Amino acid sequence: MTKTITSLSTLFFCIVLLVAGNTLLMTLLGVRMTLAEIDTKLIGWVLVCYSLGFVLGSIYCPRIVTRVGHIRSFAVFCALMSMVAIAHPLHLNLVSWALLRFMAGVSMAGLMLVVESWLSTRATNENRGTLFASYQVVFYLASAGGQLLLSFAKPSGTLAFSVASLLLSFALVPLALTRMEAPSIEQGERLSVRELMKVSSLGLVAVTLCGVVISAFNNIGPVYGSLINLDFNQIALFMATTVIAAMLFAWPLGRLSDLFDRRVVLLILSLLAGLSSLITAWWGQSQIVVLFISAEISIGIAAALYPVAVALVNDRLHSNQIVAASSTLLLFYGVGNCIGPILGSTLIASFGPSGLFISIGSCLLLLSAYTYWYIQNSRRIPVEAQETFVTATPTSTQVLVELDPRNEEFVEVGAPDSEPEPESEPIEQNASLTPRNSDLDNSSQPDRT
């Protein structure tokens, strides 16, 4: 296993550079536009273009990579990202910045697609879990590090933009020199929205609202910090600590969802995160200690809700459907990403800086209300029949879904509505490859009425 991780050090190094450079740029832009006294609503519309570009890039970039190859595609996307980063301070124009954000979103989707597809092809059933966990840790730490880089350069100058550009350019070097064989990329299949709604409408709603919450904070959080007069060091620390909190909360909260009914866990966590967000909205501006603690709780828990929601859907699916379902969930998370910055900036314009956490708290409380309704109107899956929780970083491409440890080679089974296989069938003969929910009776299946 150590040998495998060492051989993938090039990919992990590229991920660190890409994520750190992109996170620095994202945080920097919100602060820079606030310093330029641009209307908060307009800031939201500019920043949302990145999410729109990332969603479209995740759909169309596989065609580009397939056509010209991994190395060439990676070089092109890296060059574009570096150019975008260094082009921002040349002229502060909202239309051009919106276009640059869109280009950055498309390019970042292409870059993550290349790196993650390479990583995915090195996964086996023996090392899949370790690789997936390593990726999550590297991603979170790189994101936190990118936030902290803001404290080393004033956003009003060009140095921070140059640092982001250098990081993104440097990411081109390791992969361009790699001797690893380029993998193949297949366009991911998606489970239809109608099918997912029948399986678990709660999972679909939760993923979408998580996208709204996380995107609102990641994009408008630096704007909020500037509006309440935090200095650059405090803004960088404020954004970085929430990323660390998300990483620290992910496993224990996921483990909690393994021990109890996931619907109840989702209800309690969304309610707790929503109330914590409202506390931040009311007292965060006047008490910096309250701001940091309550924001870390609300955003840290909110980030953990995404993998819980995915696990909730997977509990009601067969193993041969997980990739298609996860691809659709990522698409809806991307839709939520497009809504978040607009919603957060609009409420800031209406209610002042606290509007950001009012929007976040409202989304989380809406999720808790819908979860309560869903619990009352759906059938429960026994805890012992739930799929094992696996933490997940949604801000990636659908290619990484194949690295999920739950995607091992399972025996093929029928559709979710088919009758369970008899005990004499091969499924039961190979207990180590038993697919999820194949041994459940009809009473534990979701209510599809």
User: How is the chain split into domains, by residue range?
Assistant: 10-177+189-407
408-411: long-range contacts, CB 8 A cutoff, minimum separation 24: 408/125, 408/128, 408/319, 408/433, 409/125, 409/433, 410/318, 410/319, 410/320, 410/434, 410/435, 411/435
How many C-beta neighbours within 10 Å does residue 144 have? 23
Query: 313: part of which helix (H) or strand (E)?
Result: helix 288-314
Confirm if 174 and 10 have CB atoms less than 8 A apart.
yes
Q: What is the pLDDT of residue 291?
A: 92
pLDDT at 395: 65
Please tell me the distance from the alpha carbon of residue 34 to that of residue 219, in angstroms, as a whole number: 12
Q: What is the DSSP letter of 306?
A: H
Residue-level pLDDT at 166: 94
> Can you tell me the distance from the alpha carbon of 328 to that of 401, in angstroms, rounded to the nearest whole number?
11
Residue with tokens 């979103």: 105
Residues of the chain with pLDDT under 70: 1-7, 123-129, 180-191, 318-323, 381-449
What are the tokens at 98?
A: 């919106």
CATH superfamily of 10-177+189-407: MFS general substrate transporter like domains (1.20.1250.20)
Q: Give me the pLDDT at residue 53, please.
A: 93
The residue among 192, 137, 206 whose CA lies nearest residue 327 is 192
Q: What is the pLDDT of residue 170?
A: 92
**Secondary structure string (H, E, C) spanning 253-288:** HHHHHHHCCHHHHHHHHHHHHHHHHHHHHHHCCCCH
Using DSSP, state whether 229 is helix, strand or coil.
coil
- The structure's pTM equals 0.81
How high is the pLDDT of residue 93? 87
Identity at 82, one-letter amino acid code: S
**CA 381/CA 34 separation, integer angstroms:** 48
